[in-house]
Amino acid sequence: MAKITTIKPSKKLTKLLRVAAYARVSRNKESLLHSFNAQVEHYRTFIKSNKDYIYKGVFADLGISGTKDDREEFNKLIDECRKGEIDLIITKSISRFARNTATLLKVIRELKSLKVDVFFEEQNIHSNSEEGEFILTILATMAQEEARDMSENVKWTVLKRFNEGKLFSMTILGYRLKDGVLQVVPEEAEVVKFVFDSYLKGTGVLGIAKELREKGVKSRLGREFTISSIRAILNDEVYTGRLVLQKTYRENFMTKVPKKNNGQKRRWVVENAHEPIISAEIFNKVKDEILRRRNNAPENSVKPMMAQFPFSLMLTCENCGRHYIRGKNSVRFLWRCTTFTTYGKDHCSSKYIPEETLIKLTNEVLNINSFDETLFKKKVNQIVVKADGSLLFQMKNGEEILKTWNYPSRSESWTPEMKEMARLRNLARKEKMQCQK
């Protein structure tokens, strides 16, 4: 009689999901920092404790609005999804993920195409479910309107303060804001007086910044003084006790890009609004001195030469406020900050930018294949070089686009022509050495 053996079906292995979380707190205040840290710790613990999940990290932005598209950690998260590293994203709510309906749906649809699901805890919705996109469209629209209402409420409060001749908010060296009125901080006021006094005695803005750095004196935000921060002090009439309210405004509550108020909106001028740190007489003397130096500066005669290249006078250093100039090393053209070039890294630790990288990133921003100087000057207002070397393109339409890049290795940066030139130089050097023997 044949022996029959029954084989029981094996349990189907459950595929582990690679899970990441996204957290955001929209305002960078101490009162909200605890909430931010709590979100990060909650998601880390939750994902790691689930046996069906593989922890892929918590991506968290602090102090950035959900209406903006420049959230660094959010963008890193999306890049990881594009690399195929994530299956599921967990986030608190739609408003934490994005308040802009168009942006939300664009991201969700891309993630859907990548087979990445997003779970919104508060709404208890999976983006990849059948009803997901329909419900998300409705809820995202509601979140966008909520952002609009919040913006209008803040705007109303600000304008009410302006009508009363009071400030809504201001962070400035020498003062603290209390109940809408600036009050003098004596030790900081002495720094302001030093800046004005030194300038009238003939010291330049670079020299003043250098002296303050050497003394260990920091700005209101704890940063070292730079050329741009000294210039800002010398040009700010708030130190005379005079306030000009609504110098800038935000045209769009979604982009929140500030624009200079050249008469588009009402402005308020308040005389004797607070205790002055310097007199109006000293302020006017400094204005006259700034104009005198500008007119007599020898560098004015150099500006036509500086402006001979497409990027001349278009690149501004975030560290010191000076322009970048074009130079060349043994193998390529580079753009460097003039402070760094003239005085060294002790005065400005800015990064250099290879010209080919600058052109490549500009073409990406303008969505073109070949660099077009006319289009570049028409579309781009200026490029701010950030401390880490990334480039912030400030467009003529008010839009800001941040482009990051990595410094190429030495081998990657050499073109075939450069390699051939190096080969010929080495050959010539060897021949010279043989002739000397």
Q: Which residue type does 21 have?
A: A
Determine which helix (DSSP H) or strand (DSSP E) holds 374, and give its type and residue range.
Answer: helix 373-379
Asked if pLDDT for residue 228 goes beyond 80, the answer is no
Asked if pLDDT for residue 255 goes beyond 50, the answer is no
Backbone angles phi, psi at 336, to 5 degrees: -130, 150
Query: Residue 329: its pLDDT value, please?
Result: 75
**pLDDT tens figures, 163-201:** 554 555 567 788 887 776 778 889 999 999 999 999 999
What's the whole-number mean pLDDT along residues 397-409? 80
Give one DSSP letter per residue of 59-79, joined into a string.
EEEES--TT-S--HHHHHHHH
pLDDT range class, residue 238, cuts 50, 70, 90: confident
Q: Minimal CA–CA distance to 359: which of 383, 329, 323?
A: 383
Q: Where is average pLDDT lowest: 145-154, 260-269, 287-296?
A: 145-154
Query: Residue 341: its pLDDT value, please?
Result: 78
Domain range summary for the chain, segments of one domain joined by +: 17-147, 164-296, 304-413
pLDDT range class, residue 345, cuts 50, 70, 90: confident
pLDDT range class, residue 28, cuts 50, 70, 90: very low
Q: How far apart are CA 165 and CA 179, in angstroms?
A: 12
Q: What share of the chain is helix, strand, coil (3-state, %, to 5)?
A: 45, 20, 35
DSSP letter for 173, please.
Answer: T
**What is the average pLDDT score of the chain?**
75
Query: Residue 251: its pLDDT value, please?
Result: 56
What's the whole-number mean pLDDT along residues 83-96? 88
Query: Residue 383: its pLDDT value, please?
Result: 92
Q: Which CATH superfamily is domain 17-147 in?
A: Resolvase, N-terminal catalytic domain (3.40.50.1390)
**pLDDT tens figures, 276-306:** 888 989 999 998 988 888 777 554 444 444 4
Answer CATH for 164-296 from 3.40.50.720, 3.30.70.20, 3.90.1750.20, 3.40.50.970: 3.90.1750.20
**pLDDT tens figures, 419-437:** 666 666 677 676 666 665 5
Query: Residue 433: its pLDDT value, please?
Result: 65
Q: Where is average pLDDT lowest: 44-58, 121-135, 359-373?
A: 121-135
Which one has a higher pLDDT value, 361 or 126?
361
Q: How far apart are CA 275 and CA 182, in angstroms?
A: 8
Q: Minimal CA–CA distance to 354: which of 321, 385, 392?
A: 385
**pLDDT tens figures, 352-396:** 899 999 999 999 999 999 999 889 989 998 999 988 888 999 988
Q: CA torsion, points 255, 257, 262, 265, in degrees to nearest 10?
A: 50
Residue 262 burial (C-beta neighbours within 10 Å; 0-12, 13-18, 19+): exposed
Percentage above 70 pLDDT, the chain: 65
Q: State pTM to two decimals.
A: 0.40
CA atoms within 13 A on the CB side of 388: 7
Query: Residue 304: its pLDDT value, please?
Result: 44
Highest-pLDDT range among 51-55, 214-218, 246-250, 301-305: 51-55
Coil, helix or strand at residue 127: coil
State the distance between the two ends of the chain, measured CA to CA, in whole angstroms.
Answer: 99
**pLDDT tens figures, 198-221:** 999 988 888 888 888 888 888 776
